[in-house]
């Protein structure tokens, strides 16, 4: 069953949020002087990257059954 337009919006919003979290964690880790906190931030960046990749994989799996024309 194809992804609905509303579901597509939710996935796009989630991907945008995950991308922002990746950037924030990475930037915070780069400016952090405490190695333990830096390690946690880098780990969180990786977790958000996995979330982003899972969302992207979901889109790619549904791409072949997505309608080519906008639904009325």
Which tens digit of pLDDT belongs to each residue from 37-65?
Answer: 999 999 999 999 999 999 999 888 887 66
Contact 46, 16 (CB under 8 A): no
* Higher pLDDT, residue 5 or 54: 54
* pTM of this structure: 0.81
Helices (H) and strands (E) in the chain, counts: 2, 0
Can you tell me the distance from the alpha carbon of 72 to that of 40, in angstroms, rounded to the nearest whole number? 47
The whole-chain average pLDDT of the chain stands at 89
């Amino acid at each position: 069953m194809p992804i609905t337009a509303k579901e597509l919006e939710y996935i796009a919003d989630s991907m945008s949020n995950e991308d922002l979290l990746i950037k924030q964690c990475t930037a915070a880790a780069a400016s952090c002087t405490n190695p333990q906190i830096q390690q946690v931030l880098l780990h969180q960046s990786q977790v958000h990257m996995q979330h982003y990749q899972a969302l992207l994989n979901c889109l790619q799996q549904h791409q072949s059954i997505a309608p080519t024309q906008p639904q009325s």
